[in-house]
Structures are given as structure tokens and as C-alpha cells.
Amino acid sequence: MDWAESIGRVASDGDREAFKRLFEHFAPRIKGLMLKAGCSSDEAEEIAQSTMIAVWRKAHQFDPATAGAPAWIFTIARNLRIDLFRRRARTERLQTDSELPDAPDQAETADVLMSRVQDAARIAAAIKQLSAEQSTVVRLSFIEERPHPEIASALGIPLGTVKSRIRLAMNRLRDILDEEA
């Protein structure tokens, strides 16, 4: 079966039979991969379903010259898994942050708080030294905690460009902060 051809049929004609073949082949494999990656059964099923919905909706974006169909589909699944883990971590962090310390020894000292404020100020100043493109992707990725595909869509740039800008920005931030230290 030529999976790229099936995706092309979904993109051009909304071919339900081609999509059914894609779904029947890839959905169970995605679910199995997600289970091995540490997702619960429900999470793995949700990611498999969401991946296949994305394949249906984004079939027109598939370029067989850039990647093979399985790689494209599994990349969508991987990104959804990353998004799931980020949401889970954010939820856990919010739950932890909302809990009040039980005893004085759990409360942060004024020195620790002051150090964090100073670190945040140094980082904010360093971000201002980045190019507009780099500071935008850093803000969207790390401050707003938006997933890379969402950033690419919002900015109208390829996902690879988002990742490249983030990597270059992080290298530049490291250099700036090392110079100050």
C-alpha cells in the first residue's frame, strides 16, 4: 500500500476509503507506541484518534518529498504526546503551586525569593537582546507554553523554522547570560 498516495487522495478528494485504510493501519500502531512511551490506555487512544483527525484535516499539508507518510503521521502523534505531557506537567505544577506550605520549613526564604526575582530580571533583559523573531518564539514557547506546531501555525512559518529559532535563541541567551556571570 502506498500511504503517500492514500494521503493524497484524502487531501484531493476527501476519499473516505483511503482514510479508512490509513486509520486501520496507523491508529493501532500509534496507540501501541504511545503506551510504550508512558501514556495511559485512555491517553494513547486519545492521541491515536487526534492524530488521525489531524491526518484528515492536514492531508493537504503533506509533502512526500519532505517526509514519508509514516514519518509524517508518527511526527504528528509524537507532537501530540509532547503536548499531552506538557499539559500534564502544567496541571501538576499548578496543583503544587496552589498548595500552601504546611510548615515554616517549607516556605521559601526571602533570599531565595530575591534570587529568583533577580534571575527573572536577568533573563528578561537577555531576551530583549534577541532578534524580534527569536524573542517571539521564546515568549510563545517558554512563557506562554504553547506547543511548537501551534507557534508555527500562529506565525505562519514552518515547524522546522520555529525549532531552529528556538535553538538559536537558547544558544544566544546562554552566551548573553554567560557574559554577565
Q: Which residues of the chain have pLDDT under 50?
A: 103-106
- pLDDT at site 86: 85
Tell me: do 86 and 125 sit in the same domain. Answer: no
Instruction: Tell me, yes or no, whether 102 lies in a domain.
Output: no
Instruction: Measure the CA–CA gap between 172 and 159, rounded to whole angstroms.
Output: 20
- pTM (two decimals): 0.52
Residue 74 sits in a domain whose CATH number is: 1.10.1740.10
Please check whether residues 119 and 174 belong to one and the same domain: yes
Per-residue confidence (pLDDT) for residue 139, from 0 to 100? 86
Tell whether 66 and 130 lie within a shared domain. no
d(CA 19, CA 59): 10
**pLDDT given for residue 137 in this prediction:** 92
Nearest to 169, CA basis, from 125, 121, 137: 137
Distance CA 71, CA 78 (A): 10
Q: Do residues 43 and 7 both lie within one domain?
A: yes
Residue 62 has a pLDDT of: 92
pLDDT at 93: 74
List Cα–Cα distances, 51 to 56, 79, 146, in angstroms. Answer: 9, 9, 18
- The pLDDT of residue 100 is 53
Do 14 and 87 share a domain, yes or no? yes
Any domain includes 127:
yes
Domain encompassing residue 44 = 3-95
Q: Count structural domains, the chain.
A: 2
**Cα Dmax for the chain:** 65
Residue 68 resides in a domain:
yes
The answer to the question of residue 17 being in a domain is yes
- Residue pair 77/47 in contact (Cβ under 8 Å)? The answer is yes
Nearest partner of 51 among 31, 36, 37, judged by Cα? 31
pLDDT for 71: 92
pLDDT for 5: 93
- Whether residue 78 is contained in a domain is answered as yes
59-111 pLDDT tens trace? 999 998 888 999 999 999 999 998 888 888 888 777 766 555 554 444 556 77
**Does residue 156 sit within a domain?**
yes
Whole-number Å distance between alpha carbons of 32 and 51: 13
Instruction: Give residue 98's pLDDT.
Output: 59
Q: What is the CATH number of the domain that holds 116?
A: 1.10.10.10
